[in-house]
Amino acid sequence: MGAAAVISLAEVREKKQQVEFRQQLHERFDQWLDALEEQVKAPKPTLEQLTRTIWERRQELTGSLTEALVEQRYRAEQAQRSAPCPQCGRPVAARAVVSRTVDTLVGEVEVARPYFYCVPCGHGFAPLEATLGLAEGRKQFDLQRAAARLTAEVPYETARELFAELTGRQLGTERLHPLTNTVAAGLGVLDVAPTRHEIEEQIAAVAAGRRKPPILVLAIDGAQVPTRPETAQGSRPGRKKQRAKRARWQGQWREAKGFRCYLVDDDRSVHLLSWHQIQSDEELFAALRQIQAAGLIPEEQVRLCVVADGAPWIWNGVTQLFPTAQEILDYYHCSQHIHAVAELHYGTDAAAALEWVEATMARLFAGEVEGVLWGLPRLRPATDTAAAAIDKLLAYLRQHQHRLNYGAYRKAGYPLGSGGIEAAHKFICHARLKRSGAWWYVANSNHMLALRCAKYNGTFDRVFDRYKQTLLAKSQQKNVKK
Ligand SMILES: [Zn+2]
């Protein structure tokens, strides 16, 4: 009976605290309403007048509610009078409760937290900040996440405008640039890739109801992106007199090499994973090796095929890494080569050229590669240029002989072209990097590419969390070690 009475006393006290807390919240809400009514003077305001006023003042309310909740949940921490110094372990008495105002998506929030200062160590710390997971600066992680999402989509100046408009908070482009680059710093392919489990789920979804394992396409290609040298200053390549003092520099188009993995689901493709960077062949294949080692291309669950154009850097690496994959030379690149030869060989006789191209592609389609290889040296070129082009084509087709059986590939459901990777170039590289007047430092363009890959791979939030955890761990460390 005694125990029951004690519990009920505790319950009563808790109930009382809850009621008090609600009263406090209601008071804050009343104050907010008073201010609102003060502002809307018209007796019959339009809906827009009302919503605009509420929209403008929304964060005063939501920020103040957040403040109250923090106060309620952390009463004990705010009353903490002593804490061990993270450096020497001595107990340190609280100096004072110091308030710090932070900026969040729901408005400004004032956080009162006791501050400790260990005199022998000369070290100040506030344990409640770590518990709350506060960012060091004023702008908290929710705002930073929203800003990074925006800058990955639109140019910095537009991002700044939209950010202010949508969040009601300000972040200048001088903050947006470093934020974006810090979030993306050091990202590798495994950081932006989905997990093996996520990939297997996608495979299972496409495989459902099929007799054969689904086709997983690995497409590899390069895309040109506009870069500027590391030494370049200013916004445009050397032009105009007023810029003459700045070092002149030339913008340069460089190849972002990338790969994309996707599943073929009838006429739909299911994106799995993209990785594009301005990088060497070796770096691209190192990334492919990493995802292979992580089991992200589960070859035993799919029919793997690799589609690429004839770029020599691609196929050697592919054959080494995926010896059993179905290799396909991009049909359109192949037909372009054949077109080029036809134009040189038939000259002004366009009809004959077209007829020959169609016959040649039809033979390739029918699996008669040997026949094409037999016929080419038997053409009688009228010029040396045509002869050289025919020799080149012959070498090209011989080299890719086992990648040209287009009819059979189509019958089996494989894609014949690298349209899948060209689409990825468009939505990952071009959409954000190719803007008039934009020339990117290589490091920054790789940061942007990594963030855009993360977005399309469905891992943007994971990437941001990684950044956040790194910063939190750093400020923790600062607290422990000076
Ligand atoms: Zn100390």
Q: How far is the CA of 71 from the centre of ligand 1 (A)?
A: 28
- C-alpha 80/C-alpha 197 separation (Å) is 44
Q: What percentage of residues in the chain have a pLDDT greater than 70? A: 95
Q: How far is the CA of 123 from the centre of ligand 1 (A)?
A: 6
Structure tokens at 140: 């908290």
- C-alpha 282/C-alpha 295 separation (Å) is 20
Q: Dihedral of the CA atoms 109, 110, 114, 118 (nearest 10)? A: 90
Cα of first residue to Cα of last residue in the chain, in angstroms, is 55
Mean pLDDT for the stretch of residues 383-412: 93
Q: What pTM was estimated for this model as a whole?
A: 0.88
Q: How far is the CA of 76 from the centre of ligand 1 (A)?
A: 23
Q: How far is the CA of 121 from the centre of ligand 1 (A)?
A: 4
Q: How far is the CA of 420 from the centre of ligand 1 (A)?
A: 59
Q: How far is the CA of 73 from the centre of ligand 1 (A)?
A: 28
Residue 475 has pLDDT above 90, yes or no: no
Contact 224, 253 (CB under 8 A): yes
Residue 234 has pLDDT above 80, yes or no: no
Confidence of residue 307 (pLDDT cuts 50, 70, 90): very high
Contact 190, 292 (CB under 8 A): no
Mean pLDDT for the stretch of residues 407-432: 88
Q: Any idea which residue has 């850097």 for tokens?
A: 313
Confidence of residue 449 (pLDDT cuts 50, 70, 90): very high
Q: How far is the CA of 468 from the centre of ligand 1 (A)?
A: 27
Residue 173 has pLDDT above 70, yes or no: yes
Neighbours of ion ligand 1 (CB under 5 A): 85, 87-88, 118, 121
Q: How far is the CA of 114 from the centre of ligand 1 (A)?
A: 16
- C-alpha 233/C-alpha 247 separation (Å) is 7
Q: Mapped to the 3 state alphabet, what secondary structure does 389-407 carry?
A: HHHHHHHHHHHCHHHCCHH
- Please state at what angle helix 331-346 crosses helix 384-399, rounded to 10 degrees: 160
Mean pLDDT for the stretch of residues 21-27: 91
pLDDT (tens digit per residue) in 199-210: 999 999 999 999
Q: How far is the CA of 119 from the centre of ligand 1 (A)?
A: 7
Contact 259, 284 (CB under 8 A): yes
Confidence of residue 239 (pLDDT cuts 50, 70, 90): low
Q: How far is the CA of 100 from the centre of ligand 1 (A)?
A: 23
* Confidence (pLDDT) at 17: 86
Q: How far is the CA of 89 from the centre of ligand 1 (A)?
A: 6
| CA 48 and chain centroid, separation | 37
Confidence of residue 482 (pLDDT cuts 50, 70, 90): very low
